[in-house]
Structure 1
Amino acid sequence: MAHLSRPEGDRSRAQLFLIGGLVLAVVFLGLALVLNSAIYTENIATRGEASVENSNALGTVGEVRRGVDGAIGTANRLHDDHPSQEDSIETTVGEMDGSGGDFAARRGVFFEVEVDGHEHGTRFFQENDGNFTAPNGSSSDWTVAEDVSVREFRMEVERNALGDILVDPLNVTIDDGTTAETVEIGTDGSDIVVELSGETCEATASRTSIDFTAGTVDGRHCPALDPLGDLDNDDVTVDFENGDDAEGTYSLLFDEEDRDDISPDYDSDDVDDDSDTDAEDVIYSTTVTMEYRTTTVEYETELEVAPNALDA
Structure 2
Amino acid sequence: SLQEVCKSRAVAMPTVSRVAVCGGTHGNELAGIYLVREMLKKRADGTEPVSVVTVMSNSRAAQLCVRYVETDLNRCFTRAASSGAAGSDTSPYEMIRSQELNALLGPKASAQAVDLLCDLHNTTANTGLCLITYSDHDWICLHICKHLQAPMHKPMEIGPQPHGVVRSAIFSAMQEGVQLMMDWICQFNSGRFSATNPCRNLFAVCFHGLRNIDYPRDSETHVITAAVHPDLQDRDFCLLHPGDPMFLCFSGETLRYRGKEALYPFFINEGAYYEKGVALSLARKRRVQIPSVRSETLR
TM-score class normalised by the smaller sequence: under 0.3
Structure with greater helix percent: 1
Q: Which protein is bigger by CA-based radius of gyration?
A: 1
Q: TM-score, normalised by structure 1?
A: 0.22
Structure with greater strand percent: 1
* Higher-RCO chain (CA-CA 8 Å, sequence separation at least 6): 1
Q: TM-score, normalised by structure 2?
A: 0.23
